[in-house]
Amino acid sequence: MSRLTQQLCLAITLAAATSCGRTPKQPNVLFITIDTLRADRIATQMPHVAQLAGASRVDAAIAPRAKTSPSIATLLTGLPPHEHGVRDLLSPLPDKVPLLQEQLQQHGWRTGAIIGNWVLKDEHSGLARGFDVWCEDLPQVTGVPPHDAPQRTATSLVDGALATLGLGQAPKDAGPRSVLVQHDAPWFLWLHFMDPHGA
């Protein structure tokens, strides 16, 4: 099992475990996106993730654009790039476009995000709106080809996720600095992994 697969399985398992023993009115949601990961690699390189997905796996998902920012904006708005306005990298989402996390927040969810890709930093993407906890720390300053862009690798990202869920300490070199989980409020946590991009 690859290191990334182990980290993802741990994150999913621990996220599910945090709600055991009580029945929240709304479910907790762990939303994982992985930069440049092809679907056919999941079965061959990440069999445990494929098994976890089981019958809920989607076999015919197609990115609306072959760039991170427009694709993630589509996932968080439900709109294609020509409607939400993000057509390229470093093109922030307009403030007038509603986001999933804003809707969840309005309905009682605590919302958090930890990103590993520099193009998703709020100044470049405009996606931080509606998050109670937004972490864009990129402690690994080299590694993403072709220009060695700063990133956050899976181990640091998962450690940050465990910290914000109240299940561990934040990494020394990165956040988040606050806990997402509060009382019986449901939570929505988005984790964006960057590791396959340089592979």
pLDDT tens by residue, 102-132: 999 999 999 999 999 999 999 999 999 999 9
DSSP secondary structure of the chain: --HHHHHHHHHHHHHHHTTTTS--SS--EEEEEETT--HHHHHHH-HHHHHHHGGG--S----SSSSHHHHHHHHHHS--HHHH---STT-PPPTTS--HHHHHHHTT-EEEEEE-BGGGSHHHH---TT-SEEE----EEEEETTTTEEE--HHHHHHHHHHHTTSSPPPTT----S----TT--EEEEEEE-GGGG-
- What is the pLDDT averaged over residues 137-151? 77
Would you say residue 9 has pLDDT above 80?
no
Would you say residue 162 has pLDDT above 90?
yes
Q: What percent of the chain has pLDDT over 90?
A: 56
Q: Which is more confidently placed, 17 or 132?
A: 132
Per-residue confidence (pLDDT) for residue 48, from 0 to 100: 83
In this prediction the pTM is 0.84
